[in-house]
Copies of this chain bind each other. A is one copy, B any other.
Amino acid sequence: MQKLDSVLLNNELFSGVAEGEFSQLLACLAPVRKLYEKNETILAQGDPITKIGVLLSGQAQVIRDDITGVRSILTGLAAGDVFAEAFACSDIAELPVSVLAVTDCSAMFFDYQRILKTCSSACSHHTRLIRNLLAVIADKNIMLSAKIEHLSMRTTRKRILSYLSEQASRHNSNRFDIPFNRQQLADYLCVDRSALSIELSKLQKGGILAFQKNHFRLLKHFEL
């Protein structure tokens, strides 16, 4: 499956690894590939954690079953997404979530211990792999922190300004495009879409920002 290989090769975990050296690295890591049918359980809550997963094809969901039995969806997974990585790297013994196949799926599993132990010989790429793994988790960390910063604001207005201000910083400019449509932005900020629209309008009328579709412009100083 050439296509599946390219999913791995282009994966953030393997960035910087030359195509020619890829098979060597794979041989050293000895990952396991598995196929799942729609609605099948890929990983079950309570399972011992030893491996990091990469979804090669299909779609999946990370879900959590409450102690009272209530189920909630934490994330959706698409091809190329890494999953269970934080749990594998952490010290916790059992998975606190389940991963379910939404469609037919294939996934590759990498043993965490095997990633960590740089083998003496050829696999200098191990170092690169570890660095990538750290980068993946650290990036997620930064994203999560940013989101919490926004969510800790107690009004829709402040959440919007917190988010847009972060985007401005990130783009080093007062003008930037955001990667969300209104509904997605509302979901990200955990507010009602119509409330978001209202507040955006107010901000625009107040001369604090201007926007056309996904393009925003922060106009003047404001208080968070």
Interface of A toward B, CB cutoff 8 Å? 64, 66-70, 72, 74, 85-92, 96, 116-118, 127, 130-131, 133-135, 137-142, 144-145, 147-149, 151-152, 154, 165, 168-169, 174, 190-191, 218, 221-224
User: Would A70 and B223 count as touching, CB distance under 8 A?
Assistant: yes
- Point out the residue from B66, B74, B134, B191 that lies within 8 Å of A89, measured CB to CB: B134
A223 to B71, CA, bound (A): 10
- Point out the residue from B127, B130, B144, B223 that lies within 8 Å of A148, measured CB to CB: B144
11 A-B contact pairs sorted by A residue (CB < 8 Å): A67-B174, A70-B223, A72-B149, A74-B145, A85-B138, A87-B142, A92-B142, A116-B127, A137-B138, A144-B144, A151-B151
Residues of B within 8 A of A137 (CB): 89, 134, 137-138, 141
A170 to B143, CA, bound (A): 24
Apart from A74-B145, A144-B144, A152-B190, list 6 A-B contacts with CB within 8 A: A69-B221, A87-B138, A96-B142, A141-B144, A148-B148, A148-B151
- A188 nearest in chain B by CB position: B152
Given contacts A130-B116, A148-B151, A151-B151, contact A142 B67 (CB under 8 A): no
User: Would B85 and A149 count as touching, CB distance under 8 A?
Assistant: no
- Point out the residue from B141, B191, B224 that lies within 8 Å of A72, measured CB to CB: B224
Residues of B within 8 A of A68 (CB): 165, 218, 221-222
- Point out the residue from B116, B141, B169 that lies within 8 Å of A86, measured CB to CB: B141
A142 to B74, CA, bound (A): 12
User: Would A66 and B151 count as touching, CB distance under 8 A?
Assistant: no
A138 to B222, CA, bound (A): 35
Given contacts A134-B133, A139-B90, contact A66 B224 (CB under 8 A): yes
User: Would B190 and A154 count as touching, CB distance under 8 A?
Assistant: yes
- A138 nearest in chain B by CB position: B89
User: Would A142 and B222 count as touching, CB distance under 8 A?
Assistant: no
- Point out the residue from B118, B138, B151 that lies within 8 Å of A152, measured CB to CB: B151
Residues of B within 8 A of A139 (CB): 90-91
User: Would A165 and B91 count as touching, CB distance under 8 A?
Assistant: no
